Amino acid sequence: MQAQTSHPSKNRKNSNYKKAPHRLLQSAQKLKPITMGKVDPAFIQEPEHRPRISYIEGEGFPLIDLSPLHSNNGSAIEGLVKEVGKACKEWGFFQVINHGVPLEKRQKIDSDSRKFFEQSLEEKRKVRRTEKLVLGYYDTEHTKNVRDWKEVFDIVVEEPGLIPASPDPDDKEITELYNQWPEFLPELRETCQDYGQEMVKLARKLFELIALSLGLPADRFHSFFKDHNSYIRLNHYPPCPTPELALGVGRHKDGGALTILAQDDVGGLEVKRKDGEWVRVKPTPDAYIVNVGDIIQVWSNDKYESVEHRAMVNPEKERFSFPFFFNPAHYTMIKPLEELTNEQNPAKYRAYNWGKFTASRRRSNFQKLNVENLQISHFRISD
């Protein structure tokens, strides 16, 4: 299937929001967003970043059938590699079907997440994230200093997760990260572990396709992920009475290597197309949404770019999504691959340490800093 860019006005749709019923207002109040009849200003986006209630559905958004991976048909695989390369270059995002992840694993994480988030705040806060315990439940995340209309639960796929204790380059201490599991839902542990293993398998296959699409050997990236530092996030976006002012997740790029997202059938993910338009990714049953993270951008020396995205909220329906963030080992130095640079196309980035990069990002989760959090652009070599 081809990635096409069609004219935005052709795909414009009205989502026809109705007034939020009182009952839903109450459920949204669990996040305590409404003070004195007004939405807490912490959630309100600057006017230029507010979502549009009428949106463009990205009809040209690439949908890639991975079935050739399960056959031994060389020319079909070649076609697939081309499709992946084109999608990475033109969108930085694509959906995959026939990916080999058993549907039951996805259904299980979906149903367990629903059970988890419907518990009282008091129960969920028993497994809440703190500065020391950085995994678990969290409902006050901010993206670019505006609060997100969501609650999340974070899990590392391989335990213990290892990250530097601080962003300070001279501090060699490594922190071990352990998952926190809720007592009221003991099966969540196995569900997430199983799902995580499936995601790792899929991510490795996708990396083989990405490597081939860059003219590299299929296994070129594998060694970076030997001690991978990947995690799963369960996202719950409650109904929001003012979806025109707030976002479930504010605009951002993913800092890791590759993200694989499962979204439910409500929809809300928007991707910034290369022409600058925000387009909505239409939910496709049992498809996964894949996006290039900042690390692929650096490895490929900007051939594939990490793209901004955000999640809209809905006045009537709650929404769930489950991103899997595939990240290399903390000790990995990220820099443009030598095979992809030469005199005409010199490296555009200085090498940086992945663990220190995440440690710096984590610190800004807990302290309101006046500076922008660390970005790959800070390592860009000026022309």
Residues near ligand AKG (CB under 6 A) are 233, 235, 249, 254, 261, 263, 268-269, 309, 311, 321, 323
Number of residues lying near Fe ion (CB under 5 A): 1
Q: Shortest distance, CB of residue 234 to Fe ion, whole angstroms?
A: 14
Q: Can residue 90 be called a binding residue for Fe ion (CB under 5 A)?
A: no
Report how far residue 342's alpha carbon sits from residue 340's, in angstroms, rounded to the nearest whole number: 7
Q: Shortest distance, CB of residue 143 to ligand AKG, whole angstroms?
A: 9
Q: Shortest distance, CB of residue 218 to ligand AKG, whole angstroms?
A: 27
Q: Pick the closer one to Fe ion by CB: 259 or 300.
A: 259
Q: Shortest distance, CB of residue 38 to ligand AKG, whole angstroms?
A: 26
Q: Pick the closer one to Fe ion by CB: 254 or 294.
A: 254
Q: Which does 269 bind (CB under 5 to 8 A by kind): ligand AKG, Fe ion, none?
A: ligand AKG
- Residues 6 or more apart whose Cβ sits within 8 Å of residue 91: 3, 61, 62, 271, 273, 274, 307
Q: According to the 3-state scheme, what is the secondary structure of 346-382? A: CCCECCEEHHHHHHHHHHHHHCCCCCCCCCHHHHECC
Q: Pick the closer one to ligand AKG by CB: 99 or 253.
A: 253
Q: Shortest distance, CB of residue 270 to ligand AKG, whole angstroms?
A: 8
* 3-class SS of residue 311: strand
Strands in 197-283 per DSSP E: 231-237, 249-252, 258-263, 269-272, 278-280
Cα radius of gyration rounded to whole Å, the chain: 20
Q: Which does 233 bind (CB under 5 to 8 A by kind): Fe ion, ligand AKG, none?
A: ligand AKG
Q: Pick the closer one to Fe ion by CB: 220 or 233.
A: 233
Report how far residue 124's alpha carbon sits from residue 342's, in angstroms, rounded to the nearest whole number: 52
Q: Shortest distance, CB of residue 254 to Fe ion, whole angstroms?
A: 4
Report how far residue 315's alpha carbon sits from residue 307's, in angstroms, rounded to the nearest whole number: 27
Closest CA to 247 of 108, 43, 46, 52: 43
H or E element in which residue 122 lies? helix 121-124
Report how far residue 354's alpha carbon sits from residue 295's, in angstroms, rounded to the nearest whole number: 9
Q: Pick the closer one to ligand AKG by CB: 80 or 269.
A: 269
Residues 251-270: x where in contact with Fe ion by CB under 5 A, - otherwise, as a string: ---x----------------
Q: Pick the closer one to Fe ion by CB: 208 or 254.
A: 254
Q: Pick the closer one to Fe ion by CB: 81 or 373.
A: 373
Q: Which does 235 bind (CB under 5 to 8 A by kind): ligand AKG, Fe ion, none?
A: ligand AKG
Q: Shortest distance, CB of residue 268 to ligand AKG, whole angstroms?
A: 6
Q: Which does 360 bind (CB under 5 to 8 A by kind): ligand AKG, Fe ion, none?
A: none
Whether the Cβ atoms of residue 176 and residue 161 lie closer than 8 Å to each other: yes
Q: Shortest distance, CB of residue 291 to ligand AKG, whole angstroms?
A: 8
Closest CA to 137 of 175, 105, 183, 104: 183
Q: Pick the closer one to ligand AKG by CB: 149 or 299.
A: 149
For 42, other C-beta atoms within 10 Å of its C-beta total 14
Report how far residue 91's alpha carbon sits from residue 112's, in angstroms, rounded to the nearest whole number: 32
**Residue ranges in contact with Fe ion by CB under 5 A:** 254
